[in-house]
Amino acid sequence: MEKTEKPYLLICGAGPTGLLLAMEMQRRGVPYRIVDKKEGPSQHSKALGYWARTLEIFRKTGLDRAVVDAGNPIHAVSSYYQNQKLGEVSLNQINSPYPFGLILPQSDLERLMIQKLEELGGYVEWNTRFKEAKEIENGVEITLSHLGDLEETIRCPYLVGCDGAKSSVREMLHLPFKATPYPDAFVLVDAKFDWPRAEDQLEGHLHPDGALIHFPFGKGRGRILYMRKKGEDPHQLPSVAQVEQVIKERTGEKIVLSDVEWISPFGIHHVVSTAFRKGRTLLCGDAVHVHSPAGGQGANTGMQDAYNLAWRLGLLYHKRADESILDTYEEERMKVAKEVVAFSDQLTKSIEMIGGRTFLPKAVVKLLFRLGLKSLSHSKKLQELFSNKLAEISVNYRGTSGVSETVDEAAPRLSQKLLPGDLVPHLRLPNGEELIDLLDDQQYTLLVFSTKKVEVENVRILVMDPSTKEHFGVTGEAFFLVRPDRYIAYRSNYFLDKLPC
Ligand SMILES: Cc1cc2nc3c(=O)[nH]c(=O)nc-3n(C[C@H](O)[C@H](O)[C@H](O)COP(=O)(O)OP(=O)(O)OC[C@H]3O[C@@H](n4cnc5c(N)ncnc54)[C@H](O)[C@@H]3O)c2cc1C
C-alpha cells in the first residue's frame, strides 16, 4: 500500500490506544501514519473488560456492533466470601445504550479494530520501530527503523506516542515514570472452565488466602485471576492441577480446566506520568498511566485519551481551531488518569484487605465488607453511581480551564445538574431518536432550549424539545455548547442572540 506522503501526525504503537486514534484520524480526514514494532497484531488476551463509554465511542463507525457481537455482556458483579454469596451489583443502571460490561480478549478487540481501520481505508505499518525524534521548526523529525535495520526519516507536525508502558517516545522526552508496585502477586489463566453459574455475571471470590475473580468470555471460555498465597514464589508457573486446587479452595467448586490458552504470573503497579505533552509530541494510554486492572479501566482509559486528542487534531488540521486547542488535552486527561488510579487503587486495596493483608481481625474485615456490599446491593442510587463510574460515563472535566459558563442571575436559573465539563447524557427523545446520535462528532453542536432563531457558523444547531429541559437542569431559556467528544464546553441562560462562538 502507498504510504501517506505528507502525514500530519505519526502514531507510534498499534495497541487499542493507537488503533483508536488511527480510526478517528481516518474518519476525520487527517493524514497520518501508524507504525508498530511488532510483526503483526497481538496474540495475547491482556485486557478484557470494555465499558459503555468506550462502546459509545465506537458507535459512529459501527464498531460497537461488531465488538458487542463478538463479546460477552456482563449484567452484574457478584461477590462471595468463602463460598457464601455476599451480594450482587447490577450494571443495568449504566446510563448508556450499553448498560452492561463487555468481556472480550484484547487480541480480539484489536483484530476487530484493525478490520475496521482497513474498511475505512487505513492500515498499520508493522515491523516498523520508532527510534528517535527531534523537534524542528513547525514539526518533528522522526527516525523509524524497518525490517533489516532500514532507516527512514520523516517530518510531520505532530508525533503521538501510544507505545505502551515501556514507551520509547516518553523515554525520549525524559519524563519520569517510576511505578509503585502492589505487594501481592497474581496468576492469570485463560482456558475453558465448566463454571456452574450463568455467564452474564462476573464473580469475585474473596478468601483469606487471596481473592479469585472469574471473567466469562462466553461459550465456556474465560479467565480466572487469583492472588497468590503469601510466601509463594511470584514467578513460578502453577500446573493446571494446582490451579484447579486453588479454584476448589477459594470457590468451593470442583472445576475442570481444559484447552488452556495462557497461564501467566502477573504483578501490578501504578504510576501517572508528570506530563502528557512536550511541544509537538503527545502521549496517550499506557505510555502515560498504568494501574491495577481492578475495575478494568486500563485499555478503556487509553482509548478515551486518544478520543480526547482526536477531535482536537481534527479541528486543528481543518483549520477550524488554532493550536491552543491542544492545551487542555493534558490538563483533562491527567485529571482522569489520577482519578482512575485512585479508584482502581481503592478497589485493589479492598480486595487485598479481604485476602488477609490487614492488621484488622478477619471477622471484622468480613463484617465491614458484608456491610459495604449490603448497602451497595440494596441501594439503587449507590449502584447507579458505582456502575456509571466503572463504565466511565461519569468521567468529567468540571473545573478545568477549557470549559466555562455565563449565568445571568436575573434569568430563570440553571441547576447544578449538568455542568460545563460533563458528558451530555444518553437520552431518548420524544420522537424516538437517541440524542447521542444527533450530536456532531466532527464539530461543535449547540443545544438550544428556546424558540428564538439561532444561527452560528460551523456549529450544528439542535433545537431541544422542552421535555428534555429537566435532564439539563434548565428552567427558562438556555443553550449548551457541546464539543465533538460530547462534553459540555459552555452553557448559559444568557440571551441567545449574542452567542460567544
Ligand atoms: C497480562 C496483562 C493483563 C492485563 N489485563 C488487563 C485487564 O484485565 N483490564 C485492563 O483494563 N487492562 C489490562 N491490562 C492492561 C491493558 O492491556 C493496557 O492498558 C492496554 O493494552 C493499553 O493499551 P495501549 O494501546 O496504550 O498500549 P499497548 O497495548 O501496550 O500497545 C502499545 C503498542 O506499541 C508498540 N510499541 C512499543 N514500542 C514501540 C516502538 N518503539 N516503535 C513502534 N511500536 C512500539 C507495541 O508493540 C504495542 O503494540 C493487562 C495487561 C497485561 C500485560
The full set of domains in the chain, from first to last, is 9-48+105-177+273-335 (3.50.50.60), 180-270 (3.30.70.2450), 404-492 (3.40.30.120)
CB 396 within 8 A of CB 414: no
What DSSP element (H or E) covers 307? helix 298-317
What DSSP element (H or E) covers 386? helix 380-390
Q: Is the CB of 163 under 6 A from ligand 1?
A: yes
Collapsing DSSP states into helix, strand and coil, what is residue 459? strand
Distances (CA, A) of 54 to 16, 109, 204, 217, 306: 11, 12, 23, 18, 11
Nearest CA to ligand 1 atom 31: 15
Contacts of residue 171, defined as CB under 8 A and 6 or more positions apart, other chains included, come to: none
Q: Which atom of ligand 1 is nearest to the CA of 169?
A: 41
Nearest in space to 446 (alpha carbons), one of 404, 373, 499, 401: 499
Distance 248 CA to ligand 1 centre (A): 32
Distance 188 CA to ligand 1 centre (A): 16
Q: Is the CB of 131 under 6 A from ligand 1?
A: no
Buried b (16+ CB within 10 A) or exposed e, 429-443: eeeeeebbeebbbeb
Q: Is the CB of 295 under 6 A from ligand 1?
A: no
Q: What is the pLDDT of residue 389?
A: 94
Report how far residue 107's alpha carbon sits from residue 452's, in angstroms, rounded to the nearest whole number: 51
Q: Is the CB of 161 under 6 A from ligand 1?
A: no
Distance 15 CA to ligand 1 centre (A): 6
Contacts of residue 144, defined as CB under 8 A and 6 or more positions apart, other chains included, come to: 35, 128, 129, 130, 131, 151, 152, 153, 154
Q: Is the CB of 283 under 6 A from ligand 1?
A: no
Report how far residue 412's alpha carbon sits from residue 417's, in angstroms, rounded to the nearest whole number: 15
Q: Is the CB of 106 under 6 A from ligand 1?
A: yes
CB 352 within 8 A of CB 184: yes
Per-residue pLDDT of the chain (501 residues; tens, 9 = 90+): 677 889 999 999 999 999 999 999 999 999 999 999 999 998 888 899 999 999 999 999 999 999 999 999 999 999 888 778 888 889 999 999 999 999 999 999 999 999 999 999 999 999 999 999 999 999 999 999 999 889 999 999 999 999 999 999 999 999 999 999 988 899 999 999 999 999 999 999 988 888 999 999 999 999 999 999 988 998 899 999 999 999 999 999 999 999 999 999 989 999 999 999 999 999 999 999 999 888 889 999 999 999 999 999 999 999 999 999 999 999 999 999 999 999 999 888 887 776 555 555 566 666 666 666 666 666 788 888 999 999 999 999 999 999 999 988 888 889 999 999 999 999 999 999 999 999 999 999 999 999 888 888 889 999 999 999 999 999 999 999 999 999 999 999 876 555 544
Q: Which atom of ligand 1 is nearest to the CA of 299?
A: 19
Distances (CA, A) of 330 to 183, 217, 323: 30, 35, 14
Q: What is the pLDDT of residue 455?
A: 83
What DSSP element (H or E) covers 351? helix 327-354
Distance 165 CA to ligand 1 centre (A): 7
Distance 162 CA to ligand 1 centre (A): 9
Q: Is the CB of 34 under 6 A from ligand 1?
A: no
Q: Is the CB of 105 under 6 A from ligand 1?
A: no
Strands, E assignment, 194-235: 201-206, 212-218, 221-227
Collapsing DSSP states into helix, strand and coil, what is residue 436? helix
Buried b (16+ CB within 10 A) or exposed e, 468-501: beeebebeebbbbbbbbbbbbbbbbbbebeebee
Nearest CA to ligand 1 atom 7: 47
CB 142 within 8 A of CB 133: yes
Q: Is the CB of 392 under 6 A from ligand 1?
A: no
- Using most ligand atoms within 8 A of CB, pick from 106, 186, 189, 264 the residue to mutate for ligand 1: 106
Q: What is the pLDDT of residue 495?
A: 61
What's the chain's length in residues?
501
Nearest CA to ligand 1 atom 5: 47
- Using most ligand atoms within 8 A of CB, pick from 36, 39, 104, 162 the residue to mutate for ligand 1: 36
Q: Is the CB of 365 under 6 A from ligand 1?
A: no
CB 391 within 8 A of CB 101: yes
Helix axis angle, 16-27 relative to 106-119, nearest 10°? 20
In the block, cell 468506550 appears at 54
